[in-house]
Amino acid sequence: MHKGTWSLLATLATLGAVQAVAASDPASASTPAEPQGCITVKSVAEIEQETVNDKGERVKRLVPAAKVVPGMEVIWTVTASNVCAQAVGNVTIDNPVPEHMRYVPDSALGAGADIVFSLDGRRFAAAEQLRVRDADGSERTARPDEYTHIRWLFRNPIEPGRMALARFRAVLK
Amino acid sequence: MNTLRFPLKTASLALAALCGLVTLPPAYAVGTPANTSIDNRATVSYSVGAVAQTPIESSPTGNSTPGTGNGASTSFVVDNRIDLTVNEVSGGTTVTNPGATGAVTSFRLTNTGNAAQAFQLAAAQLTGGTVFGNTDNTDVTNPLAVFVDANGNGTYEPGTDTATAVNSLAADASIIVFVVADVPLTATNGQFASVRLTARAAVDGSPATLVTETVGAETPGAVDVVFGDGAGAGDAARDAAFGADDQYEIRSAALTIAKTSTVISDPFNGTSSPRAIPGAVVEYAITITNNGAVPATGVTLVDPVPANTTFASGQYNAGVSDVSITVGATTTFCVAEAGGTDTNGDGCVRTGAGALSVGTAASSTVATGAGNAVTVRFRVTIN
């Protein structure tokens, strides 16, 4: 992609036609479209295993999620690595809380990211701004175990060769 | 969400703050069933320059191909957590009597794991120890029988509740288990016999085969077995077994018998300071007291008329009765026919050997407590 394409894309984006543009806009045809995006996204499920090292100290390490039974905590890690030559911005990682799992309060981590939550995957808000209405009509702040989706909004661009990391814990119901 | 991210995000934040109210589904009542696949797929949106790009989904090893459906879920399979509890049902002792057969204690077995399991059941006597605050000091008969409540009515029915193991119990389901015991005649009032029911998880549908915990590394995609049970009575945590205790309380009548004699009259002094000389009339008073916990029924008093005395008839009830029976403030009478045949059917008779037998309506049941003591009086003449 050369600079001329950017301005065209930007114009189209303003018109709300970005979806068509990014992968298959005819403008990209002149400069063959990259089949791959600029980011490699990886999701890993791990559990914390406590072992005793050769000094007799208890140490915790992450091992692939194995022997997971109800009540156990799984650590989900999503990495978004910039595999392009230029920086990528506005990086947002969306991760649903997996079905049959319950988000562990305050477990979402992501360096340089603002973290928002959702109860339906559409409306996201900071934890203290998520409100729900109970069956009796009363309104309250949503509990962390009610979150269905987590979104990390990375404040700064990811430079080439660097990655954004998002992590949260969830308990198997 | 493939459009410009930040303006929309801001808008959705504002929207959520204003009207982000969601009605929530009910929480799960049971653990996630074994063999359920837990799938996760993250989506990354980003811009190059100022231009939003097609979002990219995650995969376990890393995906760079934009577009929905080009990623792959990171998944694991929920393994089989073996978990169970056994609880004593009544919250107190099972009261029974010496010689009782088929005395029942009840337990509730609950499968708190995340898959259906079979369960082996075993009952054992306890020696010593305290259950419900009572120290075990006797045993019921061995071996103890264990039966599963087939129809779920919570009542042991010998012809119906015949299974001795649970073939299949669904996750989160529970079932009543009975321990059935006989009580030795030698057991006495106030004794306690504690018993313990232990359930062990077995392969669903095959109660003869106990489950074994998967050792070593996870088998990818396969359902491993993990013991997650707590410690019950007499068993450790994470051993796929759970025990609970119950107790039989032995209650029985405990009769004490006291016998006194009083000289009523003699041929010379009459009733004034009578002496026990030949021809004197002597009254025997036999008092039966029940110091036990339950009434004694079918009580018959047999007392040989003492040697060198002769049973004195017609001493009570204006000369028409031979024996007086007092219970509390109430006195009744009976006629003790000679010859062993209770012709008037009042429960009193003298056998051929000269023994008095008293088993009247008033005396055959001895209720507990001193106030319900039964006193039987009869008189003899000294030869």
Contact in structure between A115 and A154 (CB atoms under 8 Å): no
Instruction: Check CB contact of A41 with chain B, cutoff 8 Å.
Output: yes
Q: Distance (Å) from the C-alpha of residue B199 to the closest C-alpha of chain A?
A: 21
Cβ distance B64 to A84 less than 8 Å, yes or no, reads no
Report residue B97: phi and psi, to 5°. -125, 160
Query: How confident is residue B343, by pLDDT bands cut at 50, 70 and 90?
Result: very high
Q: What is the ipTM of this complex?
A: 0.77
First to last CA, chain A: 47
Q: Which helix (H) or strand (E) holds A7?
A: helix A3-14
Higher pLDDT: A159 or B6? It is A159
Report residue B203: phi and psi, to 5°. -65, 130
The answer on pLDDT for A29 being more than 90 is: no
Query: How confident is residue B290, by pLDDT bands cut at 50, 70 and 90?
Result: very high
Q: Is B150 helix (H, G, I), strand (E, B) or coil?
A: coil
* A67: CB partners within 8 A, 6+ apart: B79, B214, B218, B224, B226
* B79 closest CB neighbour out of A13, A69, A84: A69
**pLDDT number for residue B219:** 66
Cβ distance B32 to A70 less than 8 Å, yes or no, reads yes
**pLDDT number for residue B49:** 86
**pLDDT number for residue B13:** 39
**pLDDT number for residue A14:** 37
Contact in structure between B331 and B267 (CB atoms under 8 Å): no
Rounded to two decimals, what is the model's pTM? 0.69
What average pLDDT score do residues B116-122 get? Answer: 97
Cβ distance B13 to A124 less than 8 Å, yes or no, reads yes
DSSP letter at A31 equals S
The answer on pLDDT for B153 being more than 50 is: yes
What is the percent of chain B where pLDDT is above 70?
Answer: 91
What is the percent of chain A where pLDDT is above 90?
Answer: 57
CA atoms within 13 A on the CB side of A129: 17
Q: What residues are paired with B276 via a beta bridge? A: none
User: Which range among B10-14, B102-106, B160-164 shows the weakest confidence by mean pLDDT?
Assistant: B10-14
**pLDDT number for residue B220:** 60
What average pLDDT score do residues B91-114 get? Answer: 93
Cβ distance B13 to A129 less than 8 Å, yes or no, reads yes
What average pLDDT score do residues A29-56 get? Answer: 78
